[in-house]
Copies of this chain bind each other. A is one copy, B any other.
Amino acid sequence: MAPRKIAVIGAGPVGALAALYAATRGDDVEVYELRTDLRDSTTSPLNFTKSINLALSERGINALRSSGNSALLEEVLKETIPMHSRMVHYRNALGNTIEDSQQYDVHGRFQRSVDRGLLNKVLINELTKLPNVKLNFQHKLTGADFRRKKAWFEIQTDKDAVAGRRAQEIEINFDLMIGADGAHSSTRYHMMKFARMDYEQTYIDCLWCEFSMPPSDSGDFRISPNHLHIWPGGSFMFIALPNLDKSFTCTLFAPVSTFTALEQGADGELVTFFDRHFPSVTDHISPDELSTQFRRNPHLPLINIKCAPHHYADSAVIVGDAANAMVPFYGQGMNAGLESVRTLFSVLDSHRSIGDALSSYTTRRTKDAHAIADLALINYVEMRSSVTSQFYKLRKYIEETLYHYCPSMGWATQYSRVSFSNLPYSEVIERSKHQEKVLKTTLATGLLIPAIAGAYQLSRVPSVQRVLRRAGS
């Protein structure tokens, strides 16, 4: 088969992996990225501050493993820090600070903390080694005709911008465009003019702001490096993920009204807020530094996106956040994005026609995309508050006990299926529902037997027997 010309829009982790999959299959790959090359740049990528940390788990790892580039996964894993447990920081009813380490998986599987920029660089470096991949930075997709398979880009270099020169325009042809250009995808926007796409975006009432917790004076991690740290606060929370340089990247999540109050309050109020809700954080990030970072770093929204189809005819498909942006509370955004690339190419490999493949991809993927978006929203509630509740711990205990002792029955927690398996997300939900039903039936039976026994005892009381006889007559 003649090589196909694949245009990948977006050179983030998902776009770079898609380019790698296509190039490995012998396609001619052209990658178009709006931003500057993140390897050259001393400025921060995206909207972010120093770095943004992600939790890499089985789905992401499997997608890297299946890329056909055997060294890639090893390269990436070198850049990660294992997180075996959640560390939940809170004050108990007596006001004492509690640090409660909750293992992620009774079989010892774990999450990995990875810097988005580092992961991206490893992938881009692999791409530069391939003769059939051409990387184009500072290329903004301005239009696409998915019937004629043509697209238009504006090329705006920094020099042009400074000199006030008008951006240059180019036209390209392609066989297939893969849009991996994030939640505000331009590919999706242009595709929506061709595909009859159902689309839904929702902002949740939550903003986030990043903070950096530096290494200690002796150059070590200030808190345990092999944990994902959570300070649940009811309607808000603070989390910290470890970096290779022994700092932590931390994030405050809170409702818009809380942010507004903190923005309008004095610096002291921010520190008081932290000391009240996130015990010991200001021991590790100085009050001055905390206030400075809160004022300097952007306060960003969270969006949930669902759409269908994910493709148009045989010429366009969207992957990752472009098709399926979710809130970050299941740590699955990037994992789902990388998985969508693996799924897309496995479907492309098994169909002779691209159009049939893309149609089949939409059928398979949209239900999983919607499932993980829903789970991520639900997990927000769990992370903010439930992780300290006794009921949550009891349920977790029962589920994990079953999971530990009954692996042959196929028992597993939803969390482990999402994080440590490659079972399609929609099936994870189905199996969890089934397990819940079994548990509830068990519980109901457990209540019914004493109820029946009690009724039997009652039926032996003479006056009750009289009433029963009369009713029967």
Contacts and interface: CB of A to CB of B under 8 A. Distances in A.
A193 B199 CA distance: 16
Query: Which of A189, A196, A200 has its CB near the most chain B CB atoms (within 10 A)?
Result: A196
Closest 3 CB pairs of A and B: A196-B203, A200-B200, A198-B202
A301 interface: yes
Contacts of A402: none
A429 interface: no
A260 interface: no
A470 interface: yes
Given A189-B189, A470-B470, A199 B197 contact: no
Nearest to A305: B199
Nearest to A169: B166
A184 B189 contact: no
A196 B301 contact: yes
A312 to B, nearest CB: 13
Interface in A353-401: none
A128 interface: no
Contacts of A202: 198
Contacts of A301: 196
Contacts of A467: 470
Given A184-B193, A193-B184, A470-B470, A201 B203 contact: no
Given A199-B200, A470-B470, 4 more contacts: A166-B169, A184-B193, A189-B189, A200-B201
A196 B184 CA distance: 12
A201 B200 CA distance: 6
A200 B308 CA distance: 12
A199 B198 contact: no
B193 A201 contact: no
Contacts of A193: 184
Interface string A176-197: 0000000010000100010011
A245 B392 CA distance: 72
A203 B470 CA distance: 63
18 contacts: A166-B169, A184-B193, A189-B189, A196-B203, A196-B301, A196-B303, A197-B201, A197-B203, A198-B201, A198-B202, A198-B203, A199-B199, A199-B200, A199-B201, A200-B200, A200-B201, A467-B470, A470-B470
A274 to B, nearest CB: 25
Interface in A301-348: 301, 303
Contacts of A166: 169
Interface string A277-319: 0000000000000000000000001010000000000000000
Interface string A192-235: 01001111111100000000000000000000000000000000
Interface string A108-150: 0000000000000000000000000000000000000000000
A49 to B, nearest CB: 21
Contacts of A197: 201, 203
A197 B197 CA distance: 18
A47 to B, nearest CB: 12
A264 to B, nearest CB: 17
A193 B203 CA distance: 13
A301 B193 CA distance: 12
Contacts of A200: 199-201
A202 B199 CA distance: 7
A184 B467 CA distance: 72
Contacts of A189: 189
Nearest to A301: B196
A202 B307 CA distance: 10
A163 to B, nearest CB: 16
A201 B306 CA distance: 11
Interface in A158-172: 166, 169
A467 B169 CA distance: 92
A35 to B, nearest CB: 16
A201 to B, nearest CB: 5
Nearest to A200: B200
A467 B471 CA distance: 8
A189 B189 CA distance: 9
